[in-house]
Structure 1
């Protein structure tokens, strides 16, 4: 795509330190406190790209040159130099970033004039291969050249226009320029300009035209037979708007029910895992209790045998002092220690073994008690979890029964929308054929072939999908079914026009429209400047309030910090060059990846101008 790239904006003057911003090739963020020159940067770029007037600020005193560095589509540098308050721009075919005192390579008019071929607009449009593009300027089919200002309006959005109520498409808001402004939008979405007026046909051409008229009449009849209803185009548009509102309502209800269904499934999975863990633990505890019970029985059996041995020894006299029952020696004939080593040795061994076994049994019994207690607790938890699981199964079944009619209802609405859109497409094609027939029939009486007035529905739907995807990526609430209404040159979202929304939503919708238009053109290799400049694109409010007729600018939905974060994340992936001007600090991830300027006294740069 033949596009431009911003390189730098510089203010220079004799004996004055240069005030300069160098733009990154992708995302550049300029942020900081108010009254630091951020908006002045945007207005300066507009001025350098063909603006008629720039209101200077006191800090510009002594600066005599404004320099805007560009990279042309062929990669060559170009520096635009303009003195404040003049209507001439000096062109230097090199990258210059300081005060220039040598002659320029060319001098052109800054502001485009249809009677002049030596303007900045003509020069840059020629560099982008757009110098021969014509757009329709009135209902009669008259055309004019596409200008640089037409494209700048849809790429550079200052703070005032960001929240203004007029459509982003309309530049002046007057009825006399509306046709041209909507034609510029049509050219960007389709890449097709309008044809110049031609002379009427000769006699031979009129005979050919008669055959074409008959063919067009037959095509109109064929298309009319494909219409599924007798509704007019206006009635279909009204029904389409009602269907979109119903889809929005149905989608919200379905989303709430689906969220509840997913949450119930998530809880059921958690309870199922917990039940499995309890089953496993219950089996482990039961196994341990069985083993320890056997061990307890063994210990008690051992103690009983030791008691029996002790009693048998006492009866047989093994443990009495006197005549040795083992050798029969009298006490007087027994050597020293004979009793200890012979007659009482068995008694000592039995006592020691009994003490050891008693100690082991004493240690085992509390463990068995703890395991029994744990077994009871685990069994209770298992039963409670099983009851909860059964309740969740009932809840999931009920939620699924609610989802079925909601999904069927939504599908019916989507089918109805598709049918209405097909009807509108047929009406548009019929209108196009009838318009073509009218032009052919009237050739010779009126000059010119009038270009198509409206954009094809498939192209508009393609752009609408880009716009909706952008708003979804930003996670903006309350803007479902967003799209461009070419018949009223307005942006719709959430069943309402952009003009009817609060300031916060208007700014977000304007930002999304501008970036989506650029993305649509860049990704499809359609004409575009190749960059966007957004001043205060995301306005946030801490208190969500309701709009009133007395104060319609109060925000109608809350724009949270999440929108700001998602906005910057999406802009990091923007396919062209983007410059974002904001008061608030961008997320840390943006600061590390984008070219950033912070206008605060803390880092030594309190503003754009020293």
Structure 2
């Protein structure tokens, strides 16, 4: 049986680190703490395989590309690139795991419609050889081609659908899709598609049908009149891609110039701050120089005055030893209180004061020379800073002048892009209405035979055995007999429908149904992607012995370790690819054999799918 293999899921950006997780060709388990991105990875896989919507998370903001790596049945590598919220998928014949800048090998639409000529569904189903299969869409035999979403819905199960009371085979609770869902199950179990047949209506039905067709025609015409251009959808997409390339160029230029502007502003602020400090220091040094200059003048004045005193004393003989000039007494007649030193005390005092003043002047001169040197250096640095400030002001003015026209041109291109996207949206709505109109046309045709309604009992029994074997391998109690009830379009286990059980048993039965269907399709060569993605398959199950009342609706408790261990070990033997997302740890022997990714806060764990700040700092 032809099948697919997922190799990796990657979120890429030019401004953020890669967020990526790789998958083994057999079993991959992503486990660990809650709120670390495990469910978001599962939802992203579904989105990349043609999903219409991906609920955003704050950690994904800033990532511009989602990459999903695949391997076709013959081993050919393939990368699907999707811009978030876009309906275009860019396809590359290569295994790409970083931001992609080169043109794609070709593009396809993510979602398939009746008028689709190049959708992802047509491309992948054609690669697997299933593009000619059809399923029935109504009770009177209207048909459409099998779509990738029909198979992805039955093989990729996000957490919200895992415990949902809605049947695993139904896309929604609406009654409109039940016939198609039943037909898909019949195709997968029997291998027989539905042939195109014509159908008939009575007169009343034809009138209603005609009125619906007429109403749709008017709505389609109104929408066509709102188109701003006569370009077809492919021409619009081509122009949108070229325009986006131009906008990306403008964006990079604006980002570069903006960064230059910010750098100049930051440097200007630094220069201004330093200049203010220089001015303050200059004022302080200038004040000190003024004070020290006055002090120097005072010291010189004191020395000059003392010199005059010395000269006067010498002339008058005040400083000579001998007869006292004051009383005329000879040295030998001078009494103890009137010694020979009395006449020289003034001379000694003058000399001492002169020496002291000269010393202070000598100490002051190096300080003044140092202040003068500082004054010259600060003045020189001030002139340099003034020149730098003028240059930076000029740079800021230039970058502002360059940014204004770029932003104006970019705004004009963004307006054009918005107009193109509005036209693309109108085209998509027109396609959806025309698809509905074509279905109404098909319902108005004349029947040649009634289509086959039900799956033969022998085929159902064969599938039920696979389902029962799966539950027994997992050692799940209280489901002694399990089957697919094609009339209720639901799983019945332990003589109770899955929808009537608590969410723990609902998740286990959903997982078992998905796994058993993949097993059955592989064994009987039926259409199936060959891979199974299960989010939280066994985290909310409780065995019957832990609660005498049974698994009542609303239960949400840990699963018994016996069932968990047997579940994981059975997944090791699955012949295709299995990717499991769970909170609890798998058994150690399973960790040793499977590829595992542990998200959490413990040593050695990844913080989550998106790199944390700590991981970004420690990375290369």
When normalised by structure 2's length, the TM-score is 0.57
1:592 alignment partner, SS class: helix
- Structure-1 residue corresponding to 2:138: 138
Please identify, of 89-98 and 597-606, the stretch whose mean Cα deviation from structure 2 is larger. Answer: 597-606
- Structure-2 residue corresponding to 1:266: none
- Structure-1 residue corresponding to 2:79: 79
The superposition leaves residues 195-254 of structure 1 with CA deviations (integer Å, 9 ceiling, x where unpaired) of 012699xxxxxxxxxxxxxxxxxxxxxxxxxxxxxxxxxxxxxxxxxxxxxxxxxxxxxx
- Structure-2 residue corresponding to 1:457: 457
- Structure-2 residue corresponding to 1:528: 528
- Structure-2 residue corresponding to 1:173: 173
- Structure-1 residue corresponding to 2:57: 57
Q: CA deviation at 1:73?
A: 2.0
1:515 alignment partner, SS class: helix
- Structure-2 residue corresponding to 1:606: 607
Q: CA deviation at 1:526?
A: 1.4
Determine the C-alpha separation between the residues in 1 that align with 2:505 and 2:530: 25
Q: Does 1:587 align with 2:587?
A: yes
The question of whether the paired residues in 1 share the 8 Å contact of 2:598 and 2:605 is answered with: no
Determine the C-alpha separation between the residues in 2 that align with 1:72 and 1:559: 36
Determine the C-alpha separation between the residues in 1 that align with 2:605 and 2:480: 44
Q: Does 1:517 align with 2:517?
A: yes
Determine the C-alpha separation between the residues in 2 that align with 1:448 and 1:592: 59
* Structure 2, unaligned runs of 5 or more: 201-443, 612-620
- Structure-2 residue corresponding to 1:101: 101
Determine the C-alpha separation between the residues in 2 that align with 1:545 and 1:164: 24
Determine the C-alpha separation between the residues in 2 that align with 1:604 and 1:470: 32
- Structure-2 residue corresponding to 1:544: 547
Determine the C-alpha separation between the residues in 2 that align with 1:16 and 1:113: 35
Determine the C-alpha separation between the residues in 2 that align with 1:590 and 1:554: 27
Q: CA deviation at 1:524?
A: 1.8
**What aligned pairs does 1:281-320 form with structure 2 within 5 A after superposition?**
none
Q: CA deviation at 1:554?
A: 3.0
- Structure-2 residue corresponding to 1:386: none
The question of whether the paired residues in 2 share the 8 Å contact of 1:3 and 1:530 is answered with: yes
**What aligned pairs does 1:339-350 form with structure 2 within 5 A after superposition?**
none
- Structure-2 residue corresponding to 1:393: none
- Structure-1 residue corresponding to 2:508: 508
2:515 alignment partner, SS class: helix
The question of whether the paired residues in 2 share the 8 Å contact of 1:547 and 1:553 is answered with: no
The question of whether the paired residues in 2 share the 8 Å contact of 1:137 and 1:179 is answered with: yes
Determine the C-alpha separation between the residues in 2 that align with 1:103 and 1:461: 50
**What aligned pairs does 1:90-489 form with structure 2 within 5 A after superposition?**
90-197=90-197, 446-489=446-489
The question of whether the paired residues in 2 share the 8 Å contact of 1:476 and 1:559 is answered with: no
Distance 1:545 1:607, change over 3 A: farther
Determine the C-alpha separation between the residues in 2 that align with 1:64 and 1:57: 14
1:97 alignment partner, SS class: coil
Distance 1:6 1:151, change over 3 A: same
The question of whether the paired residues in 2 share the 8 Å contact of 1:540 and 1:561 is answered with: no
- Structure-2 residue corresponding to 1:22: 22
* Structure 1, unaligned runs of 5 or more: 201-443
The superposition leaves residues 123-178 of structure 1 with CA deviations (integer Å, 9 ceiling, x where unpaired) of 11111111111000000100011101110000001111111111111111211110
The question of whether the paired residues in 2 share the 8 Å contact of 1:546 and 1:554 is answered with: no
The question of whether the paired residues in 2 share the 8 Å contact of 1:535 and 1:582 is answered with: yes
Determine the C-alpha separation between the residues in 2 that align with 1:530 and 1:483: 22
2:516 alignment partner, SS class: helix
2:40 alignment partner, SS class: helix
The question of whether the paired residues in 2 share the 8 Å contact of 1:27 and 1:571 is answered with: yes
Distance 1:55 1:199, change over 3 A: closer
2:579 alignment partner, SS class: strand
The question of whether the paired residues in 1 share the 8 Å contact of 2:2 and 2:73 is answered with: yes
Distance 1:513 1:94, change over 3 A: same
Give the paired residue count.
364
1:603 alignment partner, SS class: coil
Q: CA deviation at 1:118?
A: 1.3
Distance 1:199 1:162, change over 3 A: closer
Q: CA deviation at 1:545?
A: 5.8
The question of whether the paired residues in 2 share the 8 Å contact of 1:196 and 1:448 is answered with: no
Determine the C-alpha separation between the residues in 1 that align with 2:82 and 2:64: 8
Determine the C-alpha separation between the residues in 1 that align with 2:165 and 2:10: 32
The superposition leaves residues 330-368 of structure 1 with CA deviations (integer Å, 9 ceiling, x where unpaired) of xxxxxxxxxxxxxxxxxxxxxxxxxxxxxxxxxxxxxxx
Distance 1:445 1:94, change over 3 A: closer
The question of whether the paired residues in 2 share the 8 Å contact of 1:544 and 1:558 is answered with: no
The question of whether the paired residues in 2 share the 8 Å contact of 1:467 and 1:513 is answered with: yes
Q: CA deviation at 1:24?
A: 0.2
